[in-house]
Structure 1
Amino acid sequence: MSDAEAPADEWTLPDDPRAVREALIEWYEADHRDFPWRRTDDPYEILVSEVMSQQTQLGRVVAAWEAFLEHWPTTADLADADRADVVGFWTDHSLGYNNRAKYLHEAAQQVDDEYGGDFPETPEELQELMGVGPYTANAVASFAFNDGDAVVDTNVKRVLYRSFDVPDDDATFEDAANDLMPEDRSRVWNNAIMELGGVACEQTPHCDEAGCPWREWCRAYQTGDFTAPDVPTQPSFEGSRRQFRGRVIGTLREYDELELDALGHRIRVDYVPGGEYGRDWLTELLTDLESDGLVALERDADGEHVARLRR
């Protein structure tokens, strides 16, 4: 829908959208954070960075990303790796849910087995890879192949909401972001608008300090109303299921297998077999990990349940 056709109660681009686009790209190209994955168009390296960034601050991702690529520099290297080693790396670097490591490993195997080592290039094809949803597919297509749609993350939503009064609705954000993105420039555009949200239009804005290039068009800057869309908060890691999933993986890497109580006592100090955090709690946690293909629950010769990592 063009600006002229849009109903009055819907968002519209400024009168000179070309100037808006050029201002942002010029601002980004003049100065931006120098993350190493912004210096490559290798789809494997970009996929690794995107998966790592899903639950981890970008500053912490850099060291993990570089270490990961030292271990497994190519898709083929990762495909041939022991899955337990990949999951263990994820846990050691506190990169969030360790099933993402499993999916990344499986995606590498898909690229190797089904695509002859060549990454699919379009967002639609990329979504065929394990664990790759619409957002990640768009990001890889954009940053590796310059052939994606607009990437819409929390930062982009906040920018669009404040700058152009785009309603707080996922579908509308997608439409607005794609209408605003210049044709055939998805790589630089998506990097630029995400950078704008990351350094200038943060939850607490830094419009003047960051030299925001959209100040002359921005509704929030003009009105002083820097309300932002509601964003679900990330649950605390301390004491979370994510933390104990990671502890299970880390502990089982040290042993061939462990009986449940032996494992329980090693992952939390308040483990009591019949207590709130006892066998039932641990069995549920292990069952989730088993469903994710990370852990196997079996019985030993004495009929006791034991847990081990899947390899």
Structure 2
Amino acid sequence: MTEGDGEFALPSDVDAVRDALVAWYEDGHRDFPWRRTDDPYAILVSEVMSQQTQLSRVEDAYHAFLERWPTTTDLAAADRADVVGFWSANSLGYNNRAKYLHEAAQQVESEYEGEFPETPDELSELMGVGPYTANAVASFAFDNGDAVVDTNVKRVLYRAFAEIRNADDPDYETVANALMPAGESRIWNNTIMELGGVACGKKPRCDEASCPWREWCHAYQTGDFTAPDVPTQPSFEGSRRQFRGRIVRLLGEHDEMELDTLGHRIRVDYTPDGEHGREWLRELLSDLAEDELAEVDEAGDVPIARLQK
């Protein structure tokens, strides 16, 4: 080990560590369509879709979304209800992600003359684009990012380096950026994320996946494969998120619906005055209203729910 900044020291043969990992990646990584493009729009779509959504569900939706709205120009001009409806129909998670993606496309068109900003700081100005997504788009589209640190990367670093494991408050970003070869964020981030997804999962597959870091890995040498706790995604079945998605889908199909009619359509045990009745339904609609996705018209004798335009 050599001395580095702070408490972390790079391996003395850090070039060999890097080269081994990149060679492993190039020898046979998983082939996702967003890894075959440097189009920032397509990469942003893939990143937003992949947030807490299984990649097996993302790939088909990714192709269908880009076939329907192939450019930011197309997406910016789309009816937001159509975009949100697509999101819900494909079970892609929180519907406000679709709304933010739609608004980000409008920003690119109106504020950047159709050209994506290229740095993480500039990309963070787009609606709904946080630091992680901004850095991912900068890396994979423009080779212009810092090291990406997601759950998989944290797991790799925690197991590989004793300094991370033994720290009270591990500085994953510093370690990840120290390891990344300068100016090579595209290949490096794809590579280390692949390692975490294929070889260094919750149940490690070091030998089976021919992990290139076995020689340097603290966990492999000691047999201790503990890793940071990984937050679990709340169950989707029966969740408020599931019912909000059903509301958006139905209102997209029917334009507007009376509240009780909507309630009976989204839940078989809906009873207006019951536990899952009008009050429960109004709470769901209130959530959607806060996200500017739905509204309730109280002007007539019977309240009417519809999507916001």
TM range (shorter): over 0.9
Structure 2 residue aligned with 1:27, among 14, 24, 28? Answer: 24
Amino acid corresponding to residue 119 of structure 1 in structure 2: F
Distance 1:169 1:117, change over 3 A: farther
Instruction: Describe how 1:157-306 pairs up with structure 2 within 5 A.
Output: 157-165=154-162, 166-167=164-165, 172-302=171-301, 304-306=302-304
Q: Deviations over 1:154-192 (max 9, x none)?
A: 000000000113147776011111111110000000000
How far the C-alpha of 1:86 sits from its partner, in A, is 0.4
Q: Deviations over 1:208-264 (max 9, x none)?
A: 111100000000001110001011100010011110110000111121211211111
- Aligned letter for 2:305? A
Structure 1 pair 71–238 and aligned structure 2 pair: CA distance change class (3 A): same
Match of 1:53 among 42, 50, 53: 50
Q: SS in structure 2 opposite 1:119?
A: coil
**Structure 2: how far apart are the matches of 1:111 and 1:170?**
37
Residue 277 of structure 1, CA deviation? 1.1
The size of the alignment, in residue pairs, is: 307
- The residue that corresponds to 1:73 in the other structure is 70
Q: Cα RMSD between the aligned structures? A: 1.5
Matched, 1:307 2:280: no
Which of 135, 153, 157 is residue 150 of structure 2 equivalent to?
A: 153
CA distance in 2 between partners of 1:200 and 1:74 (Å)? 35
What are the within-5 Å matches in structure 2 for residues 6-155 of structure 1? 6=5, 10-155=7-152
In the TM superposition, what whole-angstrom CA distance separates every residue of 1:64-83 from its partner, at most 9, and x where no partner exists?
00000000000100000010
Question: Which residue identity lines up with residue 259 of structure 1 in the other structure?
Answer: E
CA distance in 2, matches of 1:82, 1:169: 49
The SS at the match of 2:34 is helix
- 1:52-73 CA deviation, whole Å, 9 max, x = no partner? 0002111221110000000000
TM-score (norm 1): 0.96
Structure 2 unmatched runs, 5+: none
Once the two structures are superposed, residues 125-158 of structure 1 have per-residue CA deviations (whole angstroms, 9 ceiling, x without a partner) of: 0000000000000000000000001111100000
Q: Structure 1 43/110 Cα, relative in aligned 2: closer, same or farther at 3 Å?
A: same
Judge conservation of contact 1:12–1:164 (CA < 8 Å) in 2.
no
CA distance in 2, matches of 1:66, 1:34: 14
